[in-house]
Amino acid sequence: MKTPHRARSFALPLAGLALAAALAAGCSGDMSQQLASDPNLQARVMEVISGNGGMAAQMADRLLAADSTRGMLVGKLLGNGDAAQAVMLSVAKNPTMLDGVIGLAVQDPAMKEHVLTLLKGMEMAGGAAK
């Protein structure tokens, strides 16, 4: 007996869905293991995250939340010339942040001497310009 046309038109998509489900079940494995071992998958995931501002912000929050990844992130940030320049510009434009940085810097005796030398130099240069 021949399958009516309408029944055949549903059979193919259902078979395709069944095949896709079977493949997905067989390939589902541990996602973190797949991600750790597949550079192409890593690149795709990072592309998706970096291309979506909301997801990128969530990832940054997660990286900043833990001491281990925060230190790595700060190191990468300050190791990148453009990024480090942007951070210094933000600090330089914010009196509260600048006060905090100077306050931390002068806690170290050698750095305190350096800061005082810089301030004396600026004071002398300012006096000569008048």
Q: pLDDT tens, 21-74?
A: 545 555 556 888 888 899 998 999 999 999 999 999 999 999 999 999 999 999
Distance in angstroms (rounded) separating the CA atoms of residues 64 and 41: 24
Q: Which amino acid is at 20?
A: A
pLDDT confidence bin for 126, thresholds 50/70/90: confident
Cβ atoms of 59 and 49 within 8 Å: the answer is: yes
Q: How far is CA 41 from the centre of its chain?
A: 17
Task: Flag whether pLDDT at 7 surpasses 90.
Answer: no
Task: Flag whether pLDDT at 16 surpasses 60.
Answer: no
pLDDT confidence bin for 8, thresholds 50/70/90: very low
Sign of the CA dihedral 87, 88, 92, 97? positive
Cβ atoms of 91 and 97 within 8 Å: the answer is: yes
Cβ atoms of 102 and 115 within 8 Å: the answer is: yes
Q: Which pTM was predicted?
A: 0.61
pLDDT digits (tens, 9 = 90+) for 77-124: 999 999 999 999 999 999 999 999 999 999 999 999 999 999 999 999
Distance in angstroms (rounded) separating the CA atoms of residues 19 and 29: 17
